[in-house]
Structure 1
Amino acid sequence: MPLLRTHTHQPPRWLPNGHYQSIFPALFRKIKPPYQRERLTTLDDDFLDIDWSFAPSTSTDIVSKPPLVILSHGLEGSSTRQYITGMVRLLNHHGYDCLAWNYRSCSGEINRQLRFYHSGETSDLDFVVKYAIAKGYTEISLMGFSLGGNVTLKYAGERGKTLPKQIHKVVVFSVPMDLLGCSRNIEKPENKVYLWRFLQTLKPKIEAKATQYPDRFDVSQWEKVKTFWDFDHIYTGPLHGFLGADDYYRRCSSTYFVEGIAVPTLIVNAENDPLVPYQSLPIKTITAMPNVWLELTAQGGHCGFRPRRFDQKGAYWSEVRALEFLQKP
Structure 2
Amino acid sequence: MNFQPSFLLKNRHLQTIYASFFRKLPSLDCKSEIFELSDGDFVEACWYTLTNHTNTTPVVILFHGLAGSHKSIYIQGMIQALHAAKISCVVMHFRGCSGMDNRKARSYHSGDTHDAAEFIQSVKNRYPHAKLGAIGYSLGANMLLKYLGETQKDSLLNAAVGVSAPMQLALSSAQMNRGFSRFYQKLLLKDLRSALEEKYEKYDMQKLIGLQKKDIKKLKNFKLFDEAYTAKINGFESAEDYYKKSSAKQFLNKIETPTLIIHAKDDPFMTPEVIPTKQEVSPSVQLKILDHGGHVGFISGTLLRPKYWLEEEIIDFLQPLLSSSADQNA
Is 1:155 the counterpart of 2:147? The answer is yes
Residue 319 of structure 1 is matched in structure 2 by 311
Deviations 1:257-303 (A, max 9, x none): 1111111110000111111222222214345x311111111221101
Match of 1:278 among 272, 277, 280: 272
Is 1:210 the counterpart of 2:200? The answer is yes
Residue 3 of structure 1 is matched in structure 2 by none
CA contact (8 A) 2:9 2:300 kept: no
CA contact (8 A) 1:56 1:93 kept: no
Give the letter for the 1:261 counterpart. I
Taking structure 1 as reference, are residues 141 and 315 closer, same or farther at Cα in structure 2, changes over 3 Å only? farther
Taking structure 1 as reference, are residues 124 and 315 closer, same or farther at Cα in structure 2, changes over 3 Å only? farther
Residue 292 of structure 1 is matched in structure 2 by 285
Shift of 1:76: 0.7
Taking structure 1 as reference, are residues 327 and 314 closer, same or farther at Cα in structure 2, changes over 3 Å only? farther
Alignment of 1:118-133 (within 5 A): 118-133=109-124
Separation of aligned partners in 2, 1:13 and 1:53:
36
Residue 326 of structure 2 is matched in structure 1 by none
Separation of aligned partners in 2, 1:56 and 1:93:
12
Residue 175 of structure 2 is matched in structure 1 by 185
Separation of aligned partners in 2, 1:27 and 1:216:
41
Deviations 1:117-167 (A, max 9, x none): 000010110111011112124310111000000000000101112322xx1
Give the letter for the 1:194 counterpart. Y
RMSD after superposition: 2.0
Residue 145 of structure 1 is matched in structure 2 by 137
* Structure 1, unpaired ranges of 5+: 1-5
Is 1:49 the counterpart of 2:39? The answer is no
Separation of aligned partners in 2, 1:123 and 1:27:
34
Q: TM-score, normalised by structure 1?
A: 0.90
Residue 79 of structure 1 is matched in structure 2 by 70
Match of 2:248 among 254, 260, 278: 254
- 3-state SS of 1:328 partner: helix
Separation of aligned partners in 2, 1:264 and 1:143:
12
Identity of aligned residues (%): 33
Separation of aligned partners in 1, 2:319 and 2:60:
12
Match of 2:14 among 11, 20, 23: 20
CA contact (8 A) 2:64 2:136 kept: yes
- 3-state SS of 1:14 partner: helix
Shift of 1:112: 1.5
Match of 1:201 among 191, 206, 223: 191
Q: TM-score, normalised by structure 2?
A: 0.90
Shift of 1:18: 0.4
Give the letter for the 2:50 counterpart. A
Determine which structure has greater relative contact order: mean sequence separation of CA pairs < 8 Å that are 6+ residues apart, divided by chain length.
1
* Structure 2, unpaired ranges of 5+: 322-330
Separation of aligned partners in 1, 2:48 and 2:76:
10
Shift of 1:116: 1.0
Alignment of 1:85-100 (within 5 A): 85-100=76-91
Separation of aligned partners in 2, 1:21 and 1:184:
21
Alignment of 1:158-169 (within 5 A): 158-164=150-156, 167-169=157-159
Give the letter for the 1:10 counterpart. Q
Separation of aligned partners in 2, 1:76 and 1:280:
21
Residue 115 of structure 1 is matched in structure 2 by 106
Separation of aligned partners in 2, 1:108 and 1:153:
26
Separation of aligned partners in 2, 1:18 and 1:175:
16
- 3-state SS of 1:91 partner: helix
- How many residue pairs get aligned? The number is 314
Residue 243 of structure 1 is matched in structure 2 by 237
Separation of aligned partners in 2, 1:220 and 1:309:
46
Deviations 1:194-220 (A, max 9, x none): 011011111111111111113634324
CA contact (8 A) 1:13 1:308 kept: no
Taking structure 1 as reference, are residues 53 and 112 closer, same or farther at Cα in structure 2, changes over 3 Å only? same
Moved more, 214-223 or 84-93: 214-223
Shift of 1:309: 6.2
